[in-house]
Amino acid sequence: MESGRSVRTAVTAKETRKDRVRSVLTVPLLRETRVIGCLYLDDHGDTTFTAAMQGCLEILALYGAALLDNLANRQRMQRERETLKSRLATRDETIVRSEKMVKLYEDIRTIAAINVPVFILGEAGSGKELVAAALHTFSGRKGAYIPLNCSAIPEGIFESELFGSKKGAYHEAVDKPGKLELAEGGTLFLDEIADMALNLQPKLLRFLENREITRLGDTRSRRLDVRVVAATNRDVAAMIQENLFRDDLFQRLSCFTLKVPPLREREEDIEPLARYFLRKFSKEYNWPEPRITDGALQLLAQHRWPGNVRELRNVLLRLAVQSQGKVITEHDLSTLSDEFGMRSRAAIEVFPSLEEVEKQHIRAALERAGGNISDAALLVGIARSTLYQKMKKYEITI
């Protein structure tokens, strides 16, 4: 069996007692070239296993080995998922409970080690910066993780912030490394990349192509090993059509694209995020950790969260300040914002009562019957006299 070949043996009736095995057929289960098990048949009677029987068992062994291989892969993937969740649980605000987020972080782990740019898409407050930080962590790169918000830097000094400057390059300029140099051997995260001025985009594109920079006011170029990760909440395709963003830069930045799902599409993450933030605030401000009722958690889960995780964090901070260690209830949410109270009331208001449903049903039957009460009563399934009574009750006239 160690050789990976089938074994078929038989002995004659004269050579063995009646209660002994007289014929054996064994077929190996192979994963690539390694034996991982076998299918074994024996017979105590007069049957002798034939070559045809061996062929059938070998076909079954192929299917059996494939099933075992699939099972082993599923178990391995499940172990890897649990390991990933445990590892992410130690990172601030990285809550992975929903299937969409698990898939996202599996993709992050897969592409993290590939040293190419990554483009992250997602709504404001959805956690794009956490995804960028996770890419750096899982990449194993030894250099620093340097974030730069493109919308927060004035256009006049953006180039020196990114590429650095040499003393005398402009008024009050000093010898200073830019963010790209600071990220040497690591990752540069360009948040809100769509807000980068159009005249600066070719310079970033040049670095992505040749991996070299020149400080502002300098003539000497420097070669760098920096992974660039970019993110935006804007429609880049539309901006390219309007000539507000360079298509060639987008192609360079989007070797891989990751989409962060909005909070409303991952309700499973809301409860653990809420508990995490409440626990975090209690530690930061030395407050007793407040409990939150199931009803309040349900209201949080029903909210649309246009501001995503950032909005959830702000809401929970206000709740923590108000509660000061007391239980947070639905009432606390409704007093905090009308949106939480209005949602549940609106759902009740738009849902029709049983009387309203019956009234509309009778009107529809009368309309279908052309005003004939007898026919309408048959359609509704009640007596003619009963229909008369209900028409009087609901003030329905023909």
Give this prediction's pTM.
Answer: 0.64
Is residue 271 over pLDDT 90? yes
294-315 confidence digits (pLDDT tens): 999 999 998 999 999 999 999 9
3 state SS of 92: coil
Phi, psi (rounded to 5 degrees) for 80: -65, -35
Tokens 């609106």 sit on residue: 346
End-to-end CA distance of the chain: 89
Quote the pLDDT of residue 80: 59
Q: Averaged over 217-231, what is the pLDDT?
A: 92
- Dihedral sign of CA atoms 298, 303, 305, 311 in order: negative
Name residue 55's amino acid. G
Is residue 159 over pLDDT 70? yes
Is residue 60 over pLDDT 80? yes
Quote the pLDDT of residue 347: 42
348-374 confidence digits (pLDDT tens): 444 556 677 788 888 888 888 888 888
C-alpha distances in angstroms, 273 versus 156, 257, 280, 311, 393? 39, 25, 10, 12, 52
Name residue 145's amino acid. Y
Q: Averaged over 204-214, what is the pLDDT?
A: 94
Q: How long a stretch of residues is the chain?
A: 398
Q: How confident is the model at residue 261 (pLDDT cuts 50, 70, 90)?
A: very high
CA–CA separation, 247 vs 250, rounded Å? 5
State the pairing for strand pair 118-121/145-149.
Answer: unpaired
| Alpha helices by DSSP H, the chain | 51-89, 99-111, 128-139, 155-163, 179-182, 201-210, 236-241, 247-253, 270-284, 294-302, 308-323, 330-336, 338-350, 354-368, 373-380, 384-393
| Contact between 289 and 106 (Cβ < 8 Å) | no
| Contact between 148 and 258 (Cβ < 8 Å) | no
- Kindly report the three-state secondary structure assignment for every residue of 98-120: CHHHHHHHHHHHHHCCCCCCEEE
Average pLDDT along the chain: 84
Of residues 235 and 342, the one with the higher pLDDT is 235
